[in-house]
Structures are given as C-alpha cells and as structure tokens.
C-alpha cells in the first residue's frame, strides 16, 4: 500500500486544535525541526481529541470504543473524513508507529475518566507510562530513534514529566475529586487518602509526600539525559528545553515549600528564557553513549512494541536547520519577553 503524505490542510486543522487547547506544546514544537514538529502536531492533535472525548463525554466507555474504531480505520489506511484522523493515518503509516503506543494512551485516558487511584509508585508509573511514556516513545520514533535504549530513555522523560505535573496539580486535582499521589506514601505519612480528599489541605506530612514524588521524577530526568544527547543534533534543543522546563516545575513547587494545594506553581517567563539558553548550550555537546540503564518495568511493553515494529519508510532528505532554528529561538524569546511584561503589568498597582 502506498504511504500517504501529510496533507497541508489537515496539518493546518491540527495546528488550530493545538493553538486552542495545547498552547505549551504548540510553542515547544516550534523548537523542533520541521520534519519532526509537523508529524508531532498530527499525533498531538489526535491525542487532544481523544482526551477531550473521553473526559467530557457522558460515557467514557462509548467514547473509548469509538476512538479504538477510529484507530482501526486509520491503521487500515482508511481514516474517517476528519482532519485529525487523516493526519494520524499518514503519520502512523509513514513512521511505522506501533498501534500499542496509541492504545496505551487511550487506556490511560480511560483510567483518568474512571477516577482510578494508585496504591504505590509502581502503579502510578504504570499510569504515567500510558499517558506520557507512550508519547515519549512516539516522539522518539519520529526522530528516527528506535533502539531499545533510546526509546526507554524517551519513556523515562515522559514519565518524569507526568510526575512533575502530578506534583504541581495536587490541589487542582483534589478539587476535581482526583488523587494521584501514591496512597501507600500518604498512609506512611499519616494521611488517610479518603479523609484528605474530602477536605484537601496542605500540611508538612503532605509536603513530604510531594517532595518524595519530585525526587522520583528527578531520578527519571537524569536517566533521560543520555537519551537526549544521543538524539539528532537538530532535535536536542527542543527536547532538552522540554526536559528543563518540566523539571523546573518541580523546582518551583519546592520553592513554594511543596505547597501545591494552596497555589499552582508557575515558572516565570524570564526563568524559562534562562532554561532555554541552557538547553541550547547542552545541544552542542557531543553525544554520549547510552549506558546499560534498565528499562522501567512500566514502559517495557512500549519499548518492545517499537522494537518489533517494521522499519519505517526511508525519511526524506533533511535540509540544514540551524538558520531556521535560530529564527524559531528568536520568536520564542520574544514570546517569553511579552509574557514576562504582561505578568509584571498585572502585579503593578
């Protein structure tokens, strides 16, 4: 079967979806070379559609069944007449993205809709592997990284990012009736999960649990670093920036005394600029060999799926990207400056 190309109109529709609901990804994706950020935009657009349908619908089970049918059609090369579905079909076939990765993502969304809680860090990592590790594995395949070690490090990064998000959103999630912190950690700290969720308040015991979760995330970020330095040179700044920005969320939570109940940690735009500069410096380093770091148990089946998948089509010739990348960096600096100025304006009397 001939492999479809990504239609420009469908890609434009996917961009519109992300501008409205995933501005952070839309901005970060511009740091990636075009041959990565265009298919990534298609993947994220479908993920956004899936998340919205499962989360907002009256029946998550019905929405999940419909999304799986849409995946069946996309993988058969006969997507529904929807821009996100057509773009997804083009990307998964051209880049040989295993169906397992998208099924994992849908399963994680379904766990969210069911309000599932997690007894231990191991079980929480199983959830994070589905909603974020699978995305890391998909991004690795788009960049041409299909080795077991490289995909495992991409999963580490995705899981770490999800743990950072969970630590930041403890209060926000609790007010929505959701609790992601490992319940065995809560009990060990003297907190009854049901009692706390009924009246979510911050205290030193909760701070110790959030700190512990961020320490677990930091360990995964360090594992992911060798994978980032082994990526194609044009991809390292964008992925490195994402790593720095997400790990900084945890640092911001720590600066607030680990209180993510009373307020939501926000990384100031000026700080984001410094982190971006750090990611640019790191991108110039010579790649380090990826050491024999064991794959996280939660991500093992995702890594195996990528290894077992057929080889993708030979990618198109990649044009020089550094001049265009410099333009994108300048744009992002301007954006952060504008955001910083708006924040200061709101704080002025």
Question: Mean of the pLDDT values across residues 116-128?
Answer: 98
Instruction: Say if residue 60's pLDDT is above 90.
Output: no
In the prediction, which pLDDT does 3 show? 45
Question: Which residues 6+ apart lie within 8 Å of 264 measured at CB?
Answer: 168, 169, 171, 172
**pLDDT: which is higher, 134 or 244:** 134
* Tens digit of each residue's pLDDT (9 = 90 or more) over 231-256: 888 888 888 888 888 899 999 999 99
Under the banding of pLDDT at 50, 70 and 90, the label for residue 59 is confident
Question: Mean of the pLDDT values across residues 249-269?
Answer: 91
Which of 21-25, 172-176, 294-298 has the least mean pLDDT?
A: 21-25
Q: Distance between CA atoms of 269 and 256, rounded to whole angstroms?
A: 17
Q: What is the DSSP letter of 171?
A: H
* Tens digit of each residue's pLDDT (9 = 90 or more) over 184-219: 999 999 999 999 999 999 999 999 999 999 999 999
Q: Distance between CA atoms of 240 and 175, rounded to whole angstroms?
A: 32
pTM for this one?
A: 0.86
148 exposed, middle or buried (CB, 10 Å; 0-12, 13-18, 19+)?
middle
263 contacts 233 by C-beta, under 8 angstroms: no
Q: Distance between CA atoms of 111 and 130, rounded to whole angstroms?
A: 10
What are the E-state strand segments in the chain? none
Q: In Å, how far are 63, 108, 324 from 60, measured between CA atoms?
A: 5, 12, 42
CA nearest 165: which of 151, 178, 183? 178
Q: Domains, the chain, ranges and CATH?
A: 1-94 (no CATH), 108-313 (1.10.600.10)
* Tens digit of each residue's pLDDT (9 = 90 or more) over 268-312: 777 777 777 776 666 666 656 666 788 999 999 999 999 999 888
Query: Looking only at Cα atoms, what is the longest distance across the chain?
Result: 64
Give the total residue count for the chain: 349
- The percentage of residues in the chain with a pLDDT greater than 70, rounded to a whole number, is 81
Q: Distance between CA atoms of 157 and 161, rounded to whole angstroms?
A: 6
Which of 4-13, 35-44, 60-69, 171-180 has the least mean pLDDT?
A: 4-13
Mean pLDDT of the chain: 84
Question: Which residues 6+ apart lie within 8 Å of 345 measured at CB?
Answer: none
Q: Residue 286: how many CB atoms within 10 A of its CB?
A: 5
Question: Mean of the pLDDT values across residues 47-52?
Answer: 87
Q: What share of the chain is helix, strand, coil (3-state, %, to 5)?
A: 70, 0, 30
């Amino acid at each position: 079967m001939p492999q479809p190309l990504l239609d420009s109109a469908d890609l434009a529709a996917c961009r519109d979806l992300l501008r409205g609901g995933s501005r952070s990804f839309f901005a970060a994706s511009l740091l990636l070379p075009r041959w990565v950020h265009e298919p990534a935009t298609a993947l994220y657009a479908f993920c956004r559609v899936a998340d919205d349908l499962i989360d907002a619908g009256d029946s998550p089970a019905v929405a999940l069944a419909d999304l799986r049918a849409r995946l069946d059609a996309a993988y058969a090369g006969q997507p529904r007449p929807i821009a996100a579905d057509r773009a997804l079909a083009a990307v998964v076939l051209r880049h040989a993205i295993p169906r397992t990765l998208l099924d994992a993502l849908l399963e994680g969304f379904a766990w969210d809709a069911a309000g599932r809680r997690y007894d231990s860090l191991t079980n929480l990592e199983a959830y994070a592997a589905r909603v974020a590790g699978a995305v890391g594995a998909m991004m690795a395949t788009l960049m041409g990284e299909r080795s077991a070690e490289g995909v495992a490090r991409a999963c580490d990064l995705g899981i770490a990012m999800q743990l950072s998000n969970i630590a930041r959103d403890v209060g926000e999630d609790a007010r929505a009736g959701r609790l992601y912190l490992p319940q065995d950690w809560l009990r060990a700290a003297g907190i009854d999960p049901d009692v706390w969720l009924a009246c979510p308040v911050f205290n030193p015991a909760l701070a110790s649990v959030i700190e512990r979760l961020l320490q677990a995330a930091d360990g995964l970020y360090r594992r992911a670093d060798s994978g980032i330095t082994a990526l194609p040179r044009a991809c390292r700044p964008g992925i490195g920036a994402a790593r720095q920005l997400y790990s900084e969320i945890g640092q911001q939570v720590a600066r607030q005394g680990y209180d993510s109940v009373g307020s939501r940690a926000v990384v100031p735009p000026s700080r984001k600029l410094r982190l971006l500069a750090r990611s640019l410096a790191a991108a110039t380093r010579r790649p380090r060999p990826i050491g024999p770091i064991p794959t996280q148990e939660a991500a093992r089946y995702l890594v195996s799926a990528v290894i077992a998948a057929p080889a993708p089509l030979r990618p198109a010739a990649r044009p020089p990207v550094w001049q265009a990348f410099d333009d994108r960096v300048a744009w992002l600096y301007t954006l952060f400056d504008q955001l910083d100025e708006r924040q200061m304006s709101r704080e002025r009397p």
